[in-house]
A = this chain, B = another copy of it.
Amino acid sequence: MHDLAARLFPICRSITGAGVRESLAILSETLPLEVREVPTGTPAFDWEVPQEWRIRDAYVADESGERIVDFAESNLHVVGYSTPVDAEMGLAELDEHLHSLPELPEAIPYVTSYYAPRWGFCLPHAQRERLTDQRYRVHIDSELFDGSLSYGECVVPGEVQDEVLLSTYVCHPSMANNELSGPVVCAFLGAWLTSMPRHLTYRLVFVPETIGSLVYLSRNLEHLQRSVIAGFNVSCVGDEGPFSAIATRYGGTLADRVTAAAYAGEEPLQRFSFLDRGSDERQYNAPGVDLPVVGVCRSRFGDFPEYHTSLDDLTLVTARGLQDSLDGLRRCVEALEANRTYRAVHPGEPQLGKRGMYPTLSTRESHDLVGATMDLLAYADGTNDLLAIAERIDVPFAAIVPVAQRLAQARVIEEVSAPAPTSR
């Protein structure tokens, strides 16, 4: 995953354009994606697809002709969606178009202006402070034109039409955690899903943030509202911070519960309120969309100092961080797959002794209940899914699943055909 991220890193992505397309093509080598193109001007709820942005070159040169700020060195140097410019100006005029971070003087900040025409350059604050008053040549060879917005999706079908939505974004230029960690982990997760037997259907979408998810939703809303039983928006999952979940709008959905269960008994899950949201969980949970999608991340966007700067690079994102995130999402998937609702076949406790599942010799020690087995049986009454039972009897979900499967195999409990309560 880290190698894939490194390969994707230099590409200049934005919410539209060649960078997104090239990134989707590379990701398709890991997980075959169907790539959709949606023309400029297409409405998406309250929004519409913006013009496409193409940039070839951009620099600020000093009087000596030296390029002191150069897009070729880092695509963060140019404000995203900058309009073209080719002019000479003094420092005062130039300065109005410069962005830097006094608190991180060596970092190039990441700035965009998608929905208002502007141009600008981003540079380390230390460099900005060294600029002298001279004539600067300012050049941005960019273009805004009617084109299309691109996104990729992959549906991994299961036995049932109930779907799990996995969404991540592909619209930031050279940043590692707040861009590449999500697509890379999702691509590997999708490849793993494809390879394993599965009950549920999985839908993986790779979209530009905000406008991309809105476009995707506007084209698929009815289907998604009918099918999605749980979803995850994957963002900033490449560092080694604690696995974190941002709750759905009201919390308590299957997505919230399964994320908690996947981490019960493992490293502690860091839980955020929906008020702490920031990525596309905003759109998925918005009124009128109402999909049960949690945001998953490690260090939350904005909580790590490198966020939205050139410091968010491939040293912040580690192979281990990516792997742990993949493992965490796998645990969520496994929990979703294993979560069933059972009811007892016989009234009263079943006689487990005759099935070799209960000691036949009753001593002081064995009189204690055979732990989780008896407790699971007590609540297998058709009203609780395994997630609810695990929580109630305070046993890690992963520990309860084999117990349930053994009891189902012994035919003392049976699966209730109705779907598990999802609390959507």
Chain A stretch 343-370: residues in CB contact (< 8 A) with chain B = 343-351, 353-354, 360-364, 367-369
Q: Contacts A349-B286, A369-B278 given: A309-B111 contact, CB under 8 Å?
A: no
Contact between B285 and A378 (Cβ–Cβ < 8 Å)?
Answer: yes
Residues of B within 8 A of A378 (CB): 249, 274, 277, 282, 285-287
Q: When chains A and B are docked, how far (Å) is the Cα of A377 from the Cα of B101?
A: 31
Instruction: Decide if B114 touches A362 in the complex (CB within 8 Å).
Output: yes
Query: A46–B351 contact, CB under 8 A?
Result: yes
> Which chain B residues lie closer than 8 Å to A354 at the CB level?
115
Q: Which residues of B contact A213 (CB under 8 A)?
A: 348
Q: What are the residues of chain B within 8 A of A394 when measuring CB–CB?
A: 275
Contact with A308, one of B116, B285, B347, B367 (Cβ below 8 angstroms): B367
Interface of A is mostly: loop
Contact B101 A393 (CB under 8 A): no
List the B side residues contacting A344 at CB < 8 Å.
Answer: 286-288
In the complex, chain B residues whose CB is within 8 Å of the CB of A369: 277-278
- Nearest-Cβ distance from residue A381 to partner chain B, whole angstroms: 4
* Contact (Cβ within 8 A) A111 B363: yes
Report which of B277, B302, B348, B363 forms a contact with A286, defined as CB distance below 8 A.
Answer: B348
Question: Which partner residue on chain B sits nearest A47 by CB separation?
Answer: B351
Asked if B116 and A360 make an inter-chain contact with CB atoms under 8 angstroms apart, the answer reads yes
Question: A85: CB under 8 A from chain B?
Answer: no
Contact: A111 with B362, CB < 8 Å?
A: yes
* B118–A361 touching, CB < 8 Å: yes
Cβ–Cβ < 8 Å partners of A290 in chain B = 381
Q: Tell me which residues across on chain B come within 8 A of A393, comparing CB atoms.
A: 275
With A213-B348, A218-B348, A308-B367 known, 5 other A-B pairs at CB within 8 A are A79-B361, A109-B363, A287-B343, A287-B378, A288-B347
Q: Which residues of A contact B (CB under 8 A)?
A: 44-47, 79-80, 99, 101, 109-116, 118, 210, 213-214, 217-218, 221, 249, 274-275, 277-278, 282-283, 285-290, 301-302, 307-309, 343-351, 353-354, 360-364, 367-369, 374-375, 377-382, 393-394, 412
A-B contacts, 23 listed (Cβ < 8 Å): A45-B346, A47-B351, A80-B362, A109-B364, A111-B361, A115-B351, A116-B360, A217-B347, A217-B348, A249-B379, A249-B381, A275-B375, A282-B378, A286-B377, A287-B344, A287-B347, A288-B344, A288-B347, A289-B348, A302-B364, A302-B367, A308-B364, A308-B367
